[in-house]
Structure 1
Amino acid sequence: MASAIFNDPKTPLVEIRNLIKHFGHVIALNGIDIKVHAGEVLCLLGDNGAGKSTLIKTLSGVHQPTSGELLVRGKPVSFNSPRDALDAGIATVYQDLAMIPLMSITRNFFMGREPVKSKLGFKYIDIKHANEVTHDEMKKIGIDIRDPEQAVGTLSGGERQCVAIARAVYFGAQVLILDEPTSALGVAQTSMVLKYINLVRGKGLGVIFITHNVRHAYAVGDQFTILNRGKTLGTFQKSEITTEELQNLMAGGKELQALSDELQGTV
């Protein structure tokens, strides 16, 4: 079902040039530049209010930029809705996953894209085929669900994240935007999600991993872009920066050091 993976290593799957987004007099994004290539994980780091949510909503077609360029596979595009972004191969997995806990894993996997059969002029969901696909796609990533018709709410948080990511990959995503996928997970579940991100990268997809957890980012990231108050503080390859340096950039290292020195001086 998934479309062919884009394999030109020189042309980014997605590129943003000087992206600016205003909400009235509020400047949410002020000149953002990022590139994501096939088989690469770009980690987008920043504290609350850094502009991460606005950026991913602009990339996914929820917001339209005030100015700047968005290119997909080297061609300028303009998204007027999330459907436009999906059609271009950009899928966003939000933190709340947009799943219905009481519905089955299969129904959540195929929500809005259910396979149908026709008999005597009547169309109905081909639930047998849907269950088989759901079971097979989950097994590919190491999750052997006993019954695809069990409620998705019975799965762990990490398993639900993997369902959402597997769904996006199956339906042809070439770029995955993951919004804080490990923020509410335990150690084992976080490991499951990070392993799957690594697996997706190996298939040639581009991944934008939004997080405020430097260690999670460093475990799978190829490059790291730091946002602060709507601006880019820098983009670094993994070989160029340490976890400590990333943490300092995120949290404002100079300010923290100055505070530490001040507190020590009062003791």
Structure 2
Amino acid sequence: MTEPILRARNLVKRYGRVTAIDRCDFDLMPGEILAVIGDNGAGKSSLIKAVSGATIPDEGEVWLEGKKVSFSSPNEARKAGIETVYQQLAMSPALSIADNMFMGREIRRPGFAGKYLRMLDKPKMQRLAREKLSELGLMTIQNINQAVETLSGGQRQGVAVARAAAFGSKVIILDEPTAALGVKESGKVLELIQDVKSRGIPIILISHNMPHVFELADRIHIHRLGKRLCVVNPSDVSMSDAVALMTGAMSPDDIAA
């Protein structure tokens, strides 16, 4: 049996009297797109933050590629190969595309200039950024040095996904990647997600957009009341069934029956 690339067991996260994650289990298999859906307040974001280092769970364990991990920050998770693209994109609008791609991972010049004067190797960063965007079919962006604020919403999302694909060697987490986009731009981002998957990188997709979930996902993790209610195959359930499970109108036993 194939081992999950990312696995969590009995995760708990409390904020005072509120239990955001309640003995939650989680499994991401190699090479798959796993959609995580749930009603508002179900604890989806808390779960994702717990596996990506943004919050530290009070209880429970996380394994990456069969090794137990304990991330105390998103930087630690990034170093381990887990990249997250948040809904807010976390980009600097005034900086160029290349600068945003390498933000926090700047490449210094070789030798004295880089080591002691801390000068950046801008040509190398620009070249690598162009390569990564070209690989993912994003070179409709003509100038790698143009400011991110000059890009459309879909292009910005594309740059954020390309950055994650460039550095997320093991897992990419996408939080509502099409929430603020129009139909045409959403379509391009969905194609981009399929491209990333075709490279063998597993993706966790958090989304409220059911048509997108059913179009992209290999499996759907349904989150309810702070825990995993069930995992379903999109070919086995309808969109209305998924919503009914999510809201509590239907139980997993009804699907089995």
**TM-score if structure 2 supplies the norm length?**
0.90
- 1:108-151 superposed Cα distances (whole Å, 9 cap, x missing partner): 01111112214654342221221122122112222212111101
**Deviation at 1:222?**
0.5
- Tell me, yes or no, if the aligned pair for 2:83 and 2:167 is still in contact at 8 Å: no
- Of 46, 51, 55, the residue aligned with 1:54 is 46
Consecutive unaligned residues of structure 1, counting only runs of 5 or more, are: 1-8, 255-267
The runs of at least 4 consecutive aligned structure 1 residues that moved more than 6 Å come to none
Name the CA shift for 1:120/1:221 in 2 (closer, same or farther; >3 Å): closer
Name the CA distance, whole Å, in 2 between partners of 1:163 and 1:15.
28
Q: Which moves more between the two structures, 62-71 or 231-240?
A: 231-240
Q: Does 1:63 find its partner at 2:58?
A: no
In structure 2, which of residues 61, 66, 74 is the aligned counterpart of residue 74 of structure 1? 66
Please identify the structure whose Cα radius of gyration is greater: 1
Once the 2 structures are TM-superposed, how far is the Cα of residue 176 of structure 1 from its aligned partner? 0.6
Matched, 1:139 2:134: yes
C-alpha distance in 2, partners of 1:206/1:119?
A: 37
User: Residues 117-196 of structure 1: matches in 2 within 5 Å?
Assistant: 117-118=109-110, 121=113, 122-144=117-139, 145-196=141-192
Q: CA deviation at 1:239?
A: 2.6
SS at match of 2:26: strand
Distance 1:174 1:107 in 2: 23
Contact 2:217 2:234 in 1 (8 A): yes
Cα-Cα RMSD: 1.6
Q: Which residue does the alignment assign to 1:28? A: 20
Q: Which residue of 1 aligns with 2:254?
A: none
| Secondary structure at the counterpart of residue 69 of structure 1 | strand
Q: TM-score, normalised by structure 1?
A: 0.87
Q: How many residues align?
A: 246
- SS state of the match for residue 245, structure 1? helix
SS of 1:238's equivalent? coil
Structure 2 residues not aligned, in runs of 5+: 251-257
